[in-house]
């Protein structure tokens, strides 16, 4: 079957996706062009901003790929105080970013839960409810998710990392603290509470096959997600998975595979929000712009106070760690215009998919 006839199918089979993930050269260009057109027709060429605040790198988990895992004693730990988070949110508000994301290592202590709650309430107050708040703070109890939602957070990001249970347990310790089913349940709970829910995976993990990636895309479709963030896996030398570094596909290929994942997902889920992730920029200086051109519509400029950025090293060579928020603000607009898009200043830029009345939950 020709590539064009696959692209034009109303829905992709697993085999179709596998074929698309293997494309290169002119056929890959066709895929990218098709995905770009789907995006333009369905959600236009506006890119929405989420000012990213990396609240703390203190983490109770031990994910085998992650530079801020609990057992990495070489990581310098920090937690922003409430005032610093509010200050960063105010920067986003003053500069018309529309939304922020509060991301953090996973902690579930009472004081952490209360701190996030106070921050949400305060940000809502000082921005007169005008700034959208997305959380990315890992697995929490139903009560916690509900409390944060009622206080004003309305989007939640929780990557499944891999939707294949067997691979999940190769990249996480196999213990009750890293349970695949718990993660699935968390996604389900978030949906039931009413959050716009985002998930995603890393691309190019050790042991990962094209079939795993195809299943990840089908998983997202089946879960009927509202948002997605996918990025290339980047090895970190102070993590257990580093020992498999010689078995990885080259960085450039991880990058290209991520772009193909984004383009295929855009065709499969026409009106969701897809982020052009920071990890793409680590491999290619204009990686995020390339993602925007072929299907992504969300940028997450880092607005964490500069002095903490080095410490939030999920992976190595993370970009922009030596800049402050002001630098990023200036380059964002230029970068977005460079690929003939515009920034949706002052807008929440909610997932159109969430509002689609035809939407049904398939979990």
Give the footprint of ligand FES on this chain (CB under 6 A).
59, 61, 63, 66, 68-69, 105-106
Q: Cβ of residue 207: shortest distance to ligand 5AD, in angstroms?
A: 14
Residue 171 CB: number of other CB atoms within 10 A?
22
The one of ligand 5AD, ligand FES, none whose footprint includes residue 53, by CB under 5 to 8 A per kind, is none
Q: Give the range of 29-37, 87-95, 127-135, 230-238 binding ligand 5AD by CB under 6 A.
A: 230-238
The three-class DSSP label of residue 203 is strand
* Residue length of the chain: 363
Per-residue x/- track, 143-172, ligand 5AD (CB under 6 A):
----------------x-x-----------
* Binders of ligand 5AD in range 231-250 (CB under 6 A): 231, 233-234, 236
Q: Give the range of 122-130, 190-198, 213-221, 227-235 binding ligand 5AD by CB under 6 A.
A: 227-235
- 244/345 with CB nearer ligand FES: 244
Is residue 216 near ligand 5AD by the rule CB under 6 A? no
DSSP 141-185: -HHHHHHHHHHT--EEE---B-SSHHHHHHHS-SSGGG-HHHHHH
State the Cα angle at 17 between 336 and 5, rounded to 5°. Answer: 90
- 127/282 with CB nearer ligand FES: 282
Can you tell me the distance from the alpha carbon of 259 to that of 164, in angstroms, rounded to the nearest whole number?
A: 21
The one of ligand FES, ligand 5AD, none whose footprint includes residue 68, by CB under 5 to 8 A per kind, is ligand FES
Containing 49, the helix (H) or strand (E) segment is strand 46-56
Q: Which positions ≥6 away from 14 have C-beta within 8 Å?
A: 211, 214, 215, 218
Phi (first) and psi of residue 199, to 5 degrees? -140, -170
Query: Residue 23 has what DSSP assignment?
Result: -
Q: Which positions ≥6 away from 352 have C-beta within 8 Å?
A: 42, 43, 271, 272
Q: Cβ of residue 238: shortest distance to ligand FES, in angstroms?
A: 12
From 202, 261, 298, 336, residue interacting with ligand 5AD (rule: CB under 6 A) = 202
- 155/159 with CB nearer ligand FES: 159
What residue ranges bind ligand 5AD (CB under 6 A)? Answer: 65-66, 159, 161, 202, 231, 233-234, 236, 279, 314-315
């Amino acid at each position: 079957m020709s590539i064009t006839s696959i692209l034009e199918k109303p829905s992709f089979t697993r085999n179709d996706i596998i074929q698309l993930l293997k494309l290169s050269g002119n056929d890959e260009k066709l895929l990218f062009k098709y995905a770009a057109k789907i995006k333009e027709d369905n959600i236009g060429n506006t890119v929405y901003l989420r000012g990213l605040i990396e609240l703390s790198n203190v983490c109770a988990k031990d994910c085998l790929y992650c530079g801020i895992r609990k057992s990495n004693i070489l990581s310098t730990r920090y937690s922003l105080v409430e005032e610093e988070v509010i200050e960063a949110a105010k920067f986003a508000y003053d500069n018309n970013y529309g939304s922020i994301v509060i991301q953090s290592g996973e902690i579930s202590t009472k004081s952490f839960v209360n701190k996030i709650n106070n921050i949400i309430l305060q940000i809502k107050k000082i921005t007169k409810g005008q700034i959208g708040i997305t959380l990315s703070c890992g697995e929490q109890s139903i009560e916690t998710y509900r409390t944060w939602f009622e206080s004003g957070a309305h989007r939640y990001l929780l990557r499944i990392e891999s939707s294949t249970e067997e691979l999940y347990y190769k990249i996480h310790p196999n213990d009750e603290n890293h349970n695949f089913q718990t993660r699935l349940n968390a996604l389900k709970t978030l949906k039931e509470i009413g959050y716009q829910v985002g998930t995603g995976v890393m691309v190019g993990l050790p042991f990962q096959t094209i079939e795993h990636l195809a299943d990840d895309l089908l998983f997202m479709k089946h879960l009927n997600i509202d948002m997605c963030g996918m990025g290339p896996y980047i090895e970190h030398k102070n993590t257990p998975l580093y020992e498999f570094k010689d078995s990885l596909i080259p960085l450039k290929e991880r990058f290209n595979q991520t772009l193909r994942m984004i383009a295929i997902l855009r065709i499969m889920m026409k009106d969701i929000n897809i982020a052009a992730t920071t990890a793409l920029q680590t491999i290619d200086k204009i990686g995020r712009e390339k993602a925007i051109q072929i299907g992504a519509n969300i940028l997450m400029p880092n607005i964490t106070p500069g002095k903490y950025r080095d410490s939030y090293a999920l992976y190595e060579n993370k970009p922009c760690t030596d800049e402050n928020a002001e630098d990023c603000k200036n380059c964002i607009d230029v970068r977005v215009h460079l690929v003939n898009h515009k920034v949706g200043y002052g807008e929440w830029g909610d997932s159109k998919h969430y509002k689609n009345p035809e939407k049904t939950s398939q979990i």
